[in-house]
Structure 1
Amino acid sequence: GVGVSSGQVVLRLDADMLVYREHVESQMRWHHLIDYGVALGHKLFVDFDPAAMTPEYVRDEVAAGRADRLFDRESADPHWVERLIGQHDRLRTAGRLSYKVFIGATGSLHRSLFDAAGGMAPELVLGGDTEFAYRVAQQGAVFVPDLDTSSWHLGRSQMQTRRDAGTRYRSPYVSNRVPDFHLRRKRPDRQWEVPLVDVVVDTAERTLEEVDTTVSALLDGSTPDLRLWLLGPWSRLNDERRRPLDDELLDPRLVHETFRGDPRVRFVEEPPETDPRVPFRLFLGGGPALGPTAVADLVKEIDKEGAGLLCAPLPGATRAGDGLLRLERGSAYARARHLEPEAEGADLDRVVEETHGTHWIPGERFLAADEGEETPTVRPEVLQQRLDKALVEADRMRARAQRAERKLRWFTPGLGRRVLRRIAR
C-alpha cells in the first residue's frame, strides 16, 4: 500500500478503525514541525454490531463532529499503551521505551523516515508493527502521542482475545530482530539474528596475549548476543615464505588463527559501517581484562542515564587506544547525523551530547579482578541477573520433567497406583 502511494506522510489505519473528524489533521500538525517525528493516534476499543449502525449514519455523525457520541466511552476499553504514555509524561521521559507504543491501528510518519527504516517486514505476519517501530526508533525518531482527538477500534484486538496464542507466535520472530524485546531477555544465554552490541576491538600493535585477554572475556561474558569486529592488517597476511617465529606479522597472524573459527568474530581493517538494527556500538583497544558482566553493565548504565554516549576511562593505560571504553547508542547517532549530515568525529559527538547527553564514568568497575586479589563483593544487580537466569533454567527443566512424567505414565499403565502403594508402605 505504501509502495503505490505518493504522499509525503504515511498514516496507517487498520480497517477496523473509525476515526474522529479531526484525526488526520491533528496528526499532520506534528509533521509540519519535524520530519523525524512519529505521531501516535489515540483509540478506544468497543464492541461493535454492524447491524446497529449503517455506514451512511456513521458518516453523517462524523461529518457533524459527533463521532465521540457513537459509542459509550465509559464502557470502552483503553489501550495498554496509555499507561506507558501516562507514566512517562506523554513519552517525554520514556527514552528507549517510546517505540513500544507505536504498534499499528493508527499512527503516521514522514515517508522519508518510513523508507529510511526499511518499511514493514513482509515476513512478519504478526508482530511486524513492533519490529518496524524498533527500526524507526533506530533511525533517531521522536515518538509523539497525539491525544487531542481520538478514534474507535471496532471490536477487540487479537491480543485481547487470544493473548497467550498471540504471544507464543510473536515471541521468536520479534526476539530475533529486536534486542531489547522483553521476552528475549528471558533467554540471556542465546545468540540472535540481531545482536545487542557491535564490539569493535583495535588489535593494531597488540600482542596475541593482549588481544586474547580482551576478546576471550567478551566471548565468555554474560552477554553472548554480541558481534565482534577485530581491526587489524589482515590483508597483509599471505602464504609467502617467511621465518615463522620472526615474522613481523606474527601476532596478527596468531590472532587471526585463534579467532577465525568463532562465528561472532569478523576481521576488518576499518571500523564497520553502522548497522541500523543494532542498538549499541562499543569501541576499545585490545588488552583490558573485562569482567564477565562488563557489556551488560555498560548497557545498563547508559540506559539508566538515557545518554547517547558513555565514556569509561580505564586506569593504568599505556596507549591511547587502551584507555577508554566508548559505548555509542545507535539511535542517538542516527538522529545526530540527520540533524547535521556533515558532522563527523568530535563534531558528531557534540550533537549527540546536545540531543541525548554524554555520560562519563570510571572504567575500573568494568574490569575483572586481578589474580591474587581478594574477590570483590558481587553487586546486587549481578546477583539478580544470575537469579533470573537460574529461574528461567528451573522453569525449563520443570517443564521438561513434566513432559517426561506424562510420557512415562502413557507407556506404563498402572504406574501411579504402584507408586502410591509403595509410598503407603
Structure 2
Amino acid sequence: MKWHHYADDFVVLGWKRFVGDWSYTPELLGSELRNGSFSTLHKVSEGKDSWELLIKGTDDLRAPSLESFRALVGATFSISRKNWNSLGGYNPIFTTGEDNELGWRALLGGMRFVPERQALSWHLGISTVEVHTDTVIAHNRPLFAHHVPAMSYLRANDQLTWTVPENYIVADCRSMPAESFKNMVNEFLADESGQARFLLIGNWKALTARYKVTEDSLKELREINRWIAGDSRFSCEESASEKKLLISEILQRFDEPSTPFFYFTEGAIDPVIRFAALRHRISKSGNGLEGVVDSKDQRTFVIYAPALGRANRAGGNVYRNIQELWGMRWSEISQVDFSKSLSTNNLLPLVRIAFRAAKKIRNLSDFTKLLKKARQVLKKTISK
C-alpha cells in the first residue's frame, strides 16, 4: 500500500467490505484484475459499522484512543518488514483475533495508523465471527482478557492474575516510608481488572548485613522488603547511590510492550496523591505525560504508552520527543484536583458489541438473546 514512503512508522489500513452474493468465476476474476475493473464485480457490499465508526470518531485515527487497536484488520493492513519484526509478528497463541492483538501492540509501540479508503478489499460471504459468534467469542475471551488490558470488561469479577497488567510502576524506594509505599501499592492493587506490576529501586543488598532492631537506619526499606516477600508482582533493582534519578534513566525502565500506562513515584509520597486522578488527567488532556512535584521536588507522573513508543521510535532525546509529539504537563501538587478519577465503565466496547449483535437480528428470538447478553455485560461492567 502507499504512504509507507512518508514515514517508517505507518500501519496502513485498507477499507474492508463484505459481499453476500457473487457469481463470477476465477477466470472472470483474473480478467477483471488485469483490466483494472475488479471493483465493478461487487455492486452490493456492506461495511462494518463499528469499524467505520471507530475510524470516523477519531478523525481518521489522527486522534487515536486505546480502542483504536481494533482498527487493524488482518486482511487489509500493510506494515514494513522492519516494524513487523520489531513487534514480533502475530502472537502464535491466537488462532483467531490475532490481528486485534497485533494492533494493540502496534498502537502501544507508537506506530501510526493510516486508513486508506481507496485500498479496497472484499470478503466473500459472512465472516466466521458472524456465523459462529458464540463459539468464537468464547474461544477468544480468555486470550484477550490476558493480553489486551483495554478489554477490561472481560476481566470484570474474575479473581485471576492477568498476563499483561494495565499499569507498570517504577518506585524509587531509597527514601520512601513504608506507609507511603503501602498506600501507593494498595491503590493499584484495588483495581482487580487492571492490575499492576512494580519495579522497586533501593539498596536491597544492604539489608543482608547484621543490624539492631532498635537502631535500624534501613527500617523503612526493610519493612517494604518484608511486605513484598513472595509476591511475584514486585521486582527489585539494586541501587546504593544517593543520586536522584534523571528523567532519562526513569524512561529507560519503562519496558513492558503491552502495558498502556507507566508510572513513577519517589520518596515520601504526599498522601493527597491519587494515581487514578493522574490517569484521569492524562486521558482528558491527551498529553503523553502528566506529572506533579511537591515542595521537596519529589516527582510522581504517569506516561501514556503510545506516546512513549512513538518517542522512542523518533530517536534522540525521548523526553523531548514526548513533549514535542504528544505534549506534557507538570503541576505543583496544590494545583491538582485529586478527587477526579476515571469511571470504570468503559462504554466504547459496549457500543461495538451492540453494533455487531444488532446486525444479526433476524427474528424475535435473536432480539431476546441480544437483550439477555446486554444485561449480562452491563451487570459485569457496572459491578466494577
**TM-score relative to the length of structure 2:** 0.78
Q: Is the alpha carbon distance of 1:219 and 1:331 closer, same or farther for their aligned partners in structure 2, counting shifts above 3 Å? A: same
Q: Is the 8 A contact 2:322 2:328 kept in 1?
A: yes
Q: Is the 8 A contact 1:201 1:285 kept in 2?
A: yes
Shift of the alpha carbon at 1:395?
A: 4.5
Shift of the alpha carbon at 1:359?
A: 3.2
TM-superposition CA deviations, 1:71-110 (whole Å, max 9, x none): 223xx11123122112222222234333211021111001
* Uncovered stretches (5+) of structure 1, i.e. residues with no partner: 1-26, 368-377, 386-390, 397-425
Higher RCO (CA-CA < 8 Å; seq separation 6+): 2
Distance 2:188 2:152 in 1: 23
Distance 1:142 1:45 in 2: 26
Q: Which moved more, 1:213-222 or 1:35-44?
A: 213-222
Matched residue of 2:118: which SS?
A: coil
Distance 1:216 1:98 in 2: 30
State the Cα RMSD in Å: 2.9
Q: Is the alpha carbon distance of 1:392 and 1:366 closer, same or farther for their aligned partners in structure 2, counting shifts above 3 Å? A: farther
**Structure 1 moving runs of 4+ over 6 Å:** 391-394
Which residue matches 1:370? none
Q: Is the 8 A contact 1:127 1:173 kept in 2?
A: no
Which structure 2 residues correspond to residues 20-31 of structure 1 after superposition, within 5 A?
A: 27=1, 29-31=2-4
Q: Is the 8 A contact 1:138 1:277 kept in 2?
A: yes
Distance 1:210 1:338 in 2: 35
Shift of the alpha carbon at 1:249?
A: 2.7
Q: Is the 8 A contact 1:214 1:290 kept in 2?
A: no
Distance 1:121 1:221 in 2: 26
Which residue matches 2:11? 38
Matched residue of 1:320: which SS?
A: coil
Distance 1:176 1:39 in 2: 27
Aligned residue identity for 2:18: F
Aligned residue identity for 1:330: A
Which residue matches 1:281? 262
Q: Is the 8 A contact 1:230 1:266 kept in 2?
A: yes
Would you say 1:78 and 2:47 are equivalent positions? yes
Aligned residue identity for 1:131: E
Shift of the alpha carbon at 1:354?
A: 1.3
Which residue matches 2:370? none
Q: Is the 8 A contact 1:308 1:328 kept in 2?
A: yes
- Equivalent residue for 1:351, pick from 307, 321, 325: 321
Q: Is the alpha carbon distance of 1:393 and 1:291 closer, same or farther for their aligned partners in structure 2, counting shifts above 3 Å? A: farther
Which structure 2 residues correspond to residues 156-175 of structure 1 after superposition, within 5 A?
A: 156-175=126-145
TM-superposition CA deviations, 1:140-166 (whole Å, max 9, x none): 100001112312111111122222332
Q: Percent identity?
A: 27
Which residue matches 1:309? 289
TM-superposition CA deviations, 1:261-307 (whole Å, max 9, x none): 33322222366451122111101124335579x33332232122221
Distance 1:128 1:164 in 2: 18
Would you say 1:325 and 2:300 are equivalent positions? yes
Q: Is the alpha carbon distance of 1:161 and 1:289 closer, same or farther for their aligned partners in structure 2, counting shifts above 3 Å? A: farther
Which residue matches 2:211? 242
- Equivalent residue for 1:199, pick from 169, 172, 177: 169
Q: Is the 8 A contact 1:190 1:225 kept in 2?
A: no
Distance 1:189 1:167 in 2: 20
Aligned residue identity for 1:206: M
Q: Is the 8 A contact 2:200 2:234 kept in 1?
A: yes
Aligned residue identity for 1:303: S
* Uncovered stretches (5+) of structure 2, i.e. residues with no partner: 240-249, 347-374
Distance 1:392 1:325 in 2: 38
Q: Is the 8 A contact 1:230 1:265 kept in 2?
A: yes
Q: Is the alpha carbon distance of 1:33 and 1:358 closer, same or farther for their aligned partners in structure 2, counting shifts above 3 Å? A: same
Distance 2:377 2:37 in 1: 55
Q: Is the 8 A contact 1:221 1:291 kept in 2?
A: no
Would you say 1:64 and 2:39 are equivalent positions? no
Distance 2:123 2:255 in 1: 39
Aligned residue identity for 1:280: F
- Equivalent residue for 1:142, pick from 101, 112, 118: 112
Aligned residue identity for 1:283: F
Would you say 1:339 and 2:309 are equivalent positions? no
Q: Is the 8 A contact 2:277 2:340 kept in 1?
A: no
Distance 1:135 1:330 in 2: 10
Shift of the alpha carbon at 1:189?
A: 6.5
Matched residue of 1:42: which SS?
A: strand
> How many residues are matched?
338
Distance 2:284 2:172 in 1: 27
Distance 2:283 2:195 in 1: 18
- Equivalent residue for 1:266, pick from 225, 232, 235: 235
Q: Is the alpha carbon distance of 1:182 and 1:64 closer, same or farther for their aligned partners in structure 2, counting shifts above 3 Å? A: farther
Which residue matches 1:184? 154
**TM-score relative to the length of structure 1:** 0.71
Aligned residue identity for 1:139: G
Distance 2:68 2:377 in 1: 30
Aligned residue identity for 2:16: K
Q: Which moved more, 1:179-188 or 1:324-333?
A: 179-188
Matched residue of 2:74: which SS?
A: coil
TM-superposition CA deviations, 1:375-405 (whole Å, max 9, x none): xxx76966979xxxxx979947xxxxxxxxx
Distance 1:221 1:43 in 2: 37
Q: Is the alpha carbon distance of 1:382 and 1:277 closer, same or farther for their aligned partners in structure 2, counting shifts above 3 Å? A: closer
Matched residue of 1:151: which SS?
A: strand
Q: Is the alpha carbon distance of 1:202 and 1:86 closer, same or farther for their aligned partners in structure 2, counting shifts above 3 Å? A: same
